[in-house]
Amino acid sequence: MRNRFGRPGEVGRPEGVEVAKTRTRGLRATYSRVVPGASGRVLVVDDNKVIRQLIKVNLELEGFEVVTANDGAECLDVVHRVCPDAITLDVVMPRLDGFGAAAQLRADPRTRHVPVAIVSACTQLEVEAGIAAGVDAFVAKPFEPAELVRVVRRLVERKGAPAGRAGRAGRGA
């Protein structure tokens, strides 16, 4: 069976959208730290406290400042106060899911330029719904921490580049 992007059984990768396929081999001992002169501010949104903390710690270890939210509705409440350089969203959350949050972020002129990554199982349907909502990248759960950091770093760097902002606006987001 071929997927929408022409490859049998694979998640499609339309131009400009990154899909990371990783698997965690086991939890590593990690230590949280606050880094002066952080690499960027990331808003991590997940209703699962353990996953939220795992993402937070791994990003902090790489020099990111991390702010967390429990679901999509809380994300929309705090996003204007924290002004993140990138946002990670789970898909299945109470009150407002990741796709709904992404769509509302894209509809708001103040947040439409902020890169968004879905961190979820990343099924074909999730990828298609994410693309429709304007998501920039996907990281499959369970994820390899280094892959998560790589994707977030690329999103933060892209936001900081003038071409990245123009590219997002040019895609009709």
DSSP string, 91-106: SS-SSS-HHHHHHHHH
For 119-132, write each residue's pLDDT tens digit. Answer: 998 888 889 999 99
Q: Could you tell me where the DSSP H helices lie in 37-144?
A: 49-61, 72-82, 98-107, 124-133
> Strands, DSSP E only, in the chain?
18-20, 41-45, 65-69, 86-89, 116-120, 137-140
Global confidence as pTM:
0.73
* Per-residue pLDDT at 36: 52
Topology classification of domain 36-168: Rossmann fold (3.40.50)
